Amino acid sequence: MTITITPAANERMRHFLANTPAAAGVRFGVKRTGCSGFAYVVDLAESIGEGDQVVDVDGLSLIVNDKSLAMVEGTVIDFQRQGLNASFVFHNPNATGECGCGESFTVS
């Protein structure tokens, strides 16, 4: 599995992990939602479940479930600040389209 985390995203994820030392790592995946079909999910993982893949990305445990893996393979996760807004930004080579608001995407 190849997922890249930029230094800005890595720092942000480590900040959340530092505040929750019991977390197993950062969970990254997708859920069905939005106007285009799927939305990204980034959250702290309480545990590693059956069907989860764990990847070490620059010393950070990234946990991806098997159902999401094909849709997020090759994704670059970034963290950007624009004015008062701050969010994770995803550059996914598997996405074939996105909704106008950028909240969801499609894959073929």
Query: pLDDT for 2-58, tens place per residue?
Result: 899 999 999 999 999 999 999 999 999 999 886 668 899 999 999 999 999 999 988
| Structural domain spans, the chain | 4-94
- The architecture (CATH level 2) of 4-94 comes to Sandwich (2.60)
- The pTM assigned to this predicted structure is 0.87
Which residues sit opposite 62 in a β-bridge?
26, 55
71 touches 56 (CB < 8 A): no
pLDDT in tens, 67-98: 999 999 999 999 999 999 999 999 999 888 87
Helices assigned H by DSSP within 1-108: 7-19, 66-72
Q: How far apart are CA 82 and CA 8, in angstroms?
A: 13
